[in-house]
Chains A and B, each alone.
Chain A
């Protein structure tokens, strides 16, 4: 399909391992967001890209979290030395809009998420 694709869907890691989560946005979508959703909670903002530029990374919980989008399309969220509190669903969303003034601002298309369990 033409939706946002995330992989892997499920990842089990031992504490201390590094993990990489991939997001394939909808083709042509300029904006890309990463969110963390703990069980029973709302999505918590992690970081935001506009093309390849990371415009806001204020939500990344520690320097163990790193995100990149080198060619302005596929994005990877990397978590180093995973801890149990990192267990959550990581959501990726993309949007066609570039700025808050555009007609379709805020209309995010979400992937189904990558569920990370750290043992």
Chain B
């Protein structure tokens, strides 16, 4: 079975500071990992993904994420936070070993950036 955990319900950061949103996963075999963002009254939007290759993945809006196999983590990062980054962030995982692999989401982390 596959699962994903986001240990922080909320992360508060001052504008201009670096931010990290944590994610750990459990899956059989090689994981496919994703980050999605949900702005108020909007649908979920794809941010970035790790499939294979370089452990540091860059995505939309200046976000990046680092895959760490030994720690089974895929933390989302941004060097300098913007107030407009305030939203709900979801980490997701797929086992990726078959064409029918479902994508499982974490419980979400609310990111709040104060001016």
Please list the residues of chain A having a beta carbon within 8 angstroms of any beta carbon in chain B: 3-4, 33, 35, 40-45, 48, 50, 55-56, 58-59, 91, 93, 98-101, 105-113
Contacts and interface: CB of A to CB of B under 8 A. Distances in A.
B5 to A, nearest CB: 10
Given A41-B108, A43-B90, A105-B51, A100 B99 contact: yes
Nearest to B34: A106
Q: Is the interface of A mostly helix, strand, loop or mixed?
A: loop
Interface stretch (B14-22, B41-49, B63-71, B73-81): B41-49
A108 B49 CA distance: 11
Nearest to B42: A112
Contacts of A48: 100, 102
Nearest to A107: B46
A99 B98 CA distance: 7
A42 B102 contact: no
Contacts, number: 73
B96 A100 contact: yes
B43 A106 contact: no
Contacts of B36: 108, 110
Contacts of B106: 42
* Shortest beta-carbon contacts, A-B, top 7: A99-B99, A110-B43, A55-B100, A42-B105, A110-B44, A100-B96, A42-B107
A89 B42 CA distance: 12
Contacts of A112: 41-43
Contacts of A35: 105
Contacts of B105: 35, 42-45
B99 A56 contact: no
A100 B98 contact: yes
A117 B58 CA distance: 39
B104 interface: yes
B91 to A, nearest CB: 9
